[in-house]
């Protein structure tokens, strides 16, 4: 059961969170009420989180089928 949790549920959560960060970047970029500096800072924070999540995702053991779809 622990393997399923580590190899399936945790990576799924990371993918979901990366997607949320990408949507956040779109929203921030489209927000005309934010200053350019605030947009830049917020986007950089979201990109940093995506980078962190991606580093964690790389530790996932994928099936051969998953590897073919991702790489």
Q: CA separation (Å) from 9 to 5, 32, 45, 68?
A: 5, 37, 25, 20
pLDDT grade, residue 65 (50/70/90)? confident
Task: Output Rg (C-alpha) for the chain, integer angstroms.
Answer: 15
pLDDT at 62: 78
Q: Are 57 and 11 in contact (CB under 8 A)?
A: yes
pTM check: above 0.75: yes
Gap between the terminal Cα atoms of the chain: 27
Query: Looking at residue 5, what is its pLDDT?
Result: 58
User: What are 8-61's pLDDT values in tens digits?
Assistant: 788 889 999 999 999 999 999 999 999 999 999 999 999 999 999 999 988 887
CA distance 24 to 57: 20
């Amino acid at each position: 059961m622990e393997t399923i949790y580590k190899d399936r549920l945790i990576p799924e959560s990371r993918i979901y969170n990366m997607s949320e960060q990408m949507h956040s970047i779109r929203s921030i970029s489209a927000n005309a009420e934010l200053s350019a500096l605030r947009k830049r800072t917020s986007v950089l924070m979201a990109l940093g989180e995506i980078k962190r999540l991606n580093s964690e995702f790389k530790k996932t053991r994928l099936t051969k089928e998953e590897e073919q779809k991702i790489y």
